[in-house]
Every structure is written in structure tokens, then in C-alpha cells.
Chains A and B, each alone.
Chain A
Amino acid sequence: MYEFEHHKPASVADAASAMKGADDGKLLAGGQTMIPTLKQRLASPSDLVDLGGIAELKGISVSGGTVTIGAMTNHAAVAASADIKSALPALAELADHIGDAQVRNRGTIGGSVANNDPAADYPAACLALGATIHTSQRDIAADDFFTGLFETALEEDEIITKISFPVANKAAYVKFPNPASRYALVGVFVADGPAGTRVAVTGAGQDGVFRVPEMESALSGNFSADAIANVKVSADNLNADIHASADYRAHLITVMAKRAVAKI
């Protein structure tokens, strides 16, 4: 790991000014992506601005049909939240299957969404449920947030403060995990709620998370696994690696989508 300066601000405003004052600053949340990256010397920030001391970034609230989760809330807290389990159980279940127990005790929703790993789970929930990403500067709709592989609409010094999810009356997530890392080889989040009928796929796309309009229109008429059984997703633009070919991922999308619909 290269050397860096460490800052531990107590407020979002102080974190933003620490980032402004740094040559090449990076935010540190749970560190479950950032620290392995630093260890491999794949990043060499001059400064790390640690969000771990900012109380206003933590916490879960459910009211008026919206689940709001502070950016520094870890995956274990989302998985264990009685409020989320009753309002949006699919989201608690998704969090409960991220990585392993120790990753869930440290990794945060803000870090996961900001990182936009093409195999991460939360981006699929954000896109399918029509979430809003609240930052130190503005509110960004999930539809405009995930812009490509590890790319988001966030500006250099912009800090995610919380994420809000409209409660959907139908929602489910199923993933085919990579057996070693538990990241999604393919994960499909289906939802029928205020944002409409949506199917969002993670793990498979070369540009990260994406929606499947053919499945969405089939499900709008008839929300059943049969309605999408014959919808084939093209393997063009899907990932191929040592774990799975693009064709196999395309096949898995339909299988996972059917399982998710059948779970509701």
C-alpha cells in the first residue's frame, strides 16, 4: 500500500472540505473494496477521507411508503432491520447475501452504490425500485446514476448521504453467486411498484446494471414466471470471463428472472 494522509471528519460538510483540500483525495466507507484496491496498489490517493465518524450518515427509516438508508449503514444492519424486512423484504434479503458475514459487517450501501461494480447487488435494487441517490450536492434518480462500468454520475468530491427506495408491492431478487466471492454472476431484481414494472440485471452487462424492456412489458400484462419464460436476452454486450461465457450469462438472466417472479 502506498502512503496517504488519513482524515476523520465529523460531518458531511467537513468531509467535503477535506476532499476539496486534498491533492487526490478518496472517500473511505467500509473499505471492503477500497482497502483491497490499495493493498494491490491499484490506487494511490494522496488522502483518504474516512466517513466512519459521521453519525448523520448512518441509520434506517421507513415512512410514507419510502425506505431511506444512510450511506454509511452496513449490509448487516440492512439485513437485520425489522422495518425493512416488513416494508421491503427483498432488499433485506439482498443485503443478507452480499459477500460473507464479515464483509456485511463493514461494507456499506453508499460504498457499494458509489463503486458501481458490474457484479454488485445493490445497483440492481436501485434501478428496479426507482431509488433516489441523495448526495452532498443534489438528488439523483437511479435511472441517471449508473453510467457505465464502475462509472456513476457522481462528481469528484460529491458524497452520497443516503438512498431512498419507494416501497413496491411486489419485489424479489435472485442471484446466481460466484461460488468463491458471492458476487453476482447474474442477479435479477424484479419489481412492480411506484416506478412501474421493472426488471434490472446485474453481473452480466459489460456496462454494468441494465433493464430488460421485453420482460418488463411481458410482466406488465401478466406478472407471472410463464410470461417471461420465452424472453431471450441477447448475449451481445454481456460479460464473458473465466467464470461464465456471455451465452451462459444470457441464459441465466431468463432463469433468474423467472425464479425471482416465482418467489413473489
Chain B
Amino acid sequence: MSQLTLRSVFKSFGATAVVRDFKLTMRDGEFLSLLGPSGCGKTTVLRMVAGFESPSAGQIEIDGRDVTHLRPAQRNIGMMFQAYALFPNMTVGENVAFGLKVKGVGRDEREARVADMLRLIGLPDLGARYPFQLSGGQQQRVALARALAPQPKVLLLDEPLSALDAKVRVSLRTEIRQIQQEMGITTIFVTHDQEEAMSISDRIVVMNGGVADQIGTPFEIYNRPTTRFVANFVGTLNTFEVKVVDPALGRVTLADQPLTLSDRPLGARAGDTLSIALRPEALRLGRSDAHETTLPARIDDVHFMGSVIRLRAMMAGVPVSLDTFNRPDVPPPVPGSMVEVSLSGHEAIVLNG
């Protein structure tokens, strides 16, 4: 329902810079995740948008209006916390109605809206319960309903699933995404779980030490990470040292075998060494005509994961992970055996810095 813009936002606590030069423009109805390790400043960014912290420098705009100096209560935001944020003295219905009551919405409309919201979160009959009578997952759904009931411009979620057990976490994240799409509400979702971020976001901001390292769709972040940090943080990565042969044409060698990088190593000269990375699914077990090069590898470990089998192997002197699809008629290689692995330069990611 709204656009959100952060213009070069900085935040320091005392002498410690926690967020640096954070820029972001979100379109209407976008679902964006802030992803990064613990302590990288995700919560601080979210709390600045909410108004619980004020930026040391920079502006925050909602729908083109500068809200940098408004109090949280004036910003028209909805917020969902990690846990324990429902008002224990109020029923589920009263919790959901709270924001509407504050806004002065009349009783009849309020009750209708509360009923709508409870239906939306799949708990239509629990309006009279108290929070302590609900499971963790139910409490978080009520917290979502409470945040959404006053129809905020922006929805902010700070690791709302991290206190739940694994199964509920997966089903609830899908539900949150569905409700978000249904209501078309601009949403920032904070998480340190890359799989969670990948599976439900329109775009992801990967944060590292208070800086937005990369902003992009899950596809871009995963396949075209722009920094070594992003590449390592998101998914599994195999890194190799290659020798540059012809930088202009992207020619390099890995263990004396030729590779052609489509990602040109700008600034490198012939004879330099360079780091490249390949995802486990870019390494193909066996010889293949569709690939540029084949290297021998020794299998160390076999993890059967269902439709996918992950192999750990030694290749070109480094430990690598590679994925292969399970085929009922072909048993996977056994640990200790020698195999051939095919790869192509155009699937490699050149790592700078």
C-alpha cells in the first residue's frame, strides 16, 4: 500500500557505528527481507523505520513523507516481535482490537474487523481466549492479526519465527507471505535464516557489519552474489584459485584445465591468481558434453537428502560439495571411489574482496 525509502541512513550508539550508509527504496506491496548474521544491524534498521531508534544521519520516508522525526505512534506502522508481545491482560479479540480502538474506530466496525482478521489467520473461534492459553505459533498469528488490523502502511517483522519449532516455522512463513500478498502490504522481514529469506521474499538485503552488501531478488543474490561475504552467507559455495590466462576473454586455468569465465575478471593481468566460486549444483557428476572441463575427484562423503544427494569430495586440491539428483536406477558413488566432475566457466562467480 505504500512506498518506503531510506536515504543514506546511519546509526551509531556512542562511538560504535552500527548501521552505515543504508539506502533502500521499496515499492508498493513489496516483501523485503533483511538478512545477515546476528549483530549486523538488522534490528536497528527495522527499529529506525518503526521510530524506536532515531537515525544519526539520513532520512526515512513513507509514501514520500519524511517520518524521520515522528514518534512510532504517528507513523502508521504495524510491528511484530520475536515473542511475548501480546498483551497478557487482554483476550485475543481485545489484542487485535487494540489498534482500532486507539484509532477511534467504532464498536461495530471494530468487531467486524476483528472477526475478519481472526478468520484471515485461521483462528476464528479463539477470540475469547487469553494469550497464555495459546501455543507459540497461535500467539504469533494473533500478533500478526493485531499488527495488520489498523491497516498500517508498512509491516515490520523482527525474526517473528525464531522462537518457534522448525515445523511451525516453515508453515507459518508461508502463511505470513500469503496474507501479505492478499493484503498487498509493504513488508520488511528480518531474519538470519537464509533459507527463510530465500523462500518468501521479493527482494533480499544482505547485511554485513552494518552495511547493505547486496540488494536483489533471491535469484540474483544466490546466483550473482557481488561480494565474497554474500556468496558465503547465502547457500553453500565451492571456492577455487584459478590462474588468469587472458583477462579480456575471461580465459583462466583450474588445475591446468581451461575455463572461460563469462564474469570477466576486470583489472586482472595474465599470470595473476583469482578466486572463483561454484555452487554445488554447478558441479556435475560424470563426464558431460555440455560442460567445458572435466576434473577427477575423490568422494569423501555421501549425504542422501531425498530428491537430492549431496556429495563431499576432494577436487583440484580443495574440498567441494556437489549435488546430484537421486535416480532410483543409479546408486550414488561410494566414499573413497574416484569420479569425474564436469564444470563450466560461465557458471562461476568471480569473487572480489
Do A and B pair up? The answer is no
